[in-house]
Amino acid sequence: MTLNFDPRAKATALYHGEFRPMFIGGKWVAAQSGQVMQALNPATGETLATVPRGGAADIDAAVAAARAAFEGPWSKFSPYERQCVLLRIADLFEKHWEELSVSDTLDMGLPITRTLANRRRVIGMLRFYGGMATALHGEAIDNSIPGEIVTFTRREPVGVVGAIIPWNAPTAASIWKIAPALATGCTIVLKPSEDASLTPLLIAKLMQEAGVPDGVVNIVTGTGAEAGARLAEHPDVNKIVFTGSTLTGQAIARAGVTNLKRVSLELGGKSPIIVCRDADIDKAVPVAAMAVFVHSGQICIAGSRLFVAREIHDEFVRRVAEFAGKLRIGHGIEAETEIGPLINARQAGKVERPAGRRRLTADGRALQRRQLHRAHRLRRGVGQDDHRAGRDFRAGHLGHAFRHPGRSGRARQCDTLRAGGRYLHHQSRHRAQARAPRQGGLGLGQHVPRHRPGRAVRRHEDVRLWPRGRRRASARISGDEGSLDPNRLGVGAG
């Protein structure tokens, strides 16, 4: 991809080690404790900036500002006026998209070509929710109750929304939470990941420029155990929305019980890729490879389990390994980079941890510069019926196994805790469409038992604040735990 600007020049202009305050009640403030955190470039380990290490007191201040705005000036905005605000934000994002893309790349390592490619998705979300601001309404309902009685429904904003996002897509994740809140007339307190806090602060600046009233959008930087835990359990937060790991999602759901707040969870998983024997191998190989290797596997819908028909298994795996060996690893700011760094040393340690009795088919190269760790691996189970391939793999790992004639791909894809998505490669459109309904939602947005494939277990789910085309996320809640474990909020992204 050829860039029409110099990303390195923009990177130099963006961050040079300065302090970046957080955004509460329309003001740029430091943490009340005075503590700060370093925002590191994952590709080099260098400090991009320092940000406040917000805690419970800062969350309390942000929630109070959000509540005041919700009950004050923001409540007087009509749906049309909220729509205009969202469209102004979209215009500013379009104007500053290169700056936002460079910030994302520096903040969490995704190659610049991919952060730039998110433009249509992010700006499209802003304009979509701008349209929804005037499309959400109630209805009059006919009834059979005697007398002059009128029955109608009215949709009202929930109130103050708390949002906790991961580090793997700061711009998209921020808008995914902020835009629907603004469209419905809610106010929001956003807690970004401590590993990628800079872009959300840049977004807050654009929100202010677009005319969002003070207190409607608040950004509190800090750790999950300190700021995130308080936001999840805060009694004056009406709804909590979270994107990230399953374990952290369980903690969020338990925290919401304190005041019966609404909870929406979008959690990670191990998504299956099923390649049928009549699949077009030339087309399927790059899709199967990049389904897991893109962003070094640090995506909730990464296709980390590969099930291939026995007839084409050996050739397919060999070609995926060859494809992986040609991927260019490097600093995300370089236009030719295809695989960027892992977010931090902790995540790299998980990837490097031995994966039991598994054979390494292909291995990514480890660059010598700090934080540019091995980013992609291809493993297969020792046994050909190793249907749990991928269950214990980390970011950037792709497990592969035969499709055994005695166990269907559907049964094997359910032998895991959860899956974020599902991929099916087939030549026949009709057969593929016929197969999809039979697979239902198993492994997608729900939990199934590890040793009893196909039998669904108890689910916990909640209707989202905004309309979504995707299946609702859900979490398996432990029945003997009713309190929040703050340590869970330090778990990484989904």
Angle at the Cα of 68 from the Cα atoms of 62 and 73, rounded to 5 degrees: 125
Residues 6+ apart with CB under 8 A from 341: 42, 43, 109, 296, 331, 332, 371, 372, 373, 375
20-40 per-residue burial string, b: 16 or more CB within 10 A, e: under 16: bbbbbbbeebbbeeeebbebb
Question: Exactly one of 194, 226, 233, 266 is catalytic; which is it?
Answer: 266
Rounded Cα distance between 144 and 113, Å, is: 60
Catalytic site residue 98?
A: no
Residues 41 and 332: beta-carbon distance below 8 Å: no
Q: What is the DSSP letter of 441?
A: T
Helices (H), ranges, 387-446: 409-413, 429-439
* Three-state secondary-structure class, residue 96: coil
Question: Exactly one of 226, 233, 276, 300 is catalytic; which is it?
Answer: 300
Q: For residue 427, what are its two tokens?
A: 């030549």
Residues 145 and 232: beta-carbon distance below 8 Å: no
User: Which amino acid is located at 270 in the chain?
Assistant: K
Q: What is the number of other CB atoms lying within 10 angstroms of the CB of residue 475?
A: 26
Q: Please list the residues that pair with 364 across neighbouring strands.
A: none
Catalytic site residue 266?
A: yes
Rounded Cα distance between 202 and 280, Å, is: 43
Active site residues: 266, 300
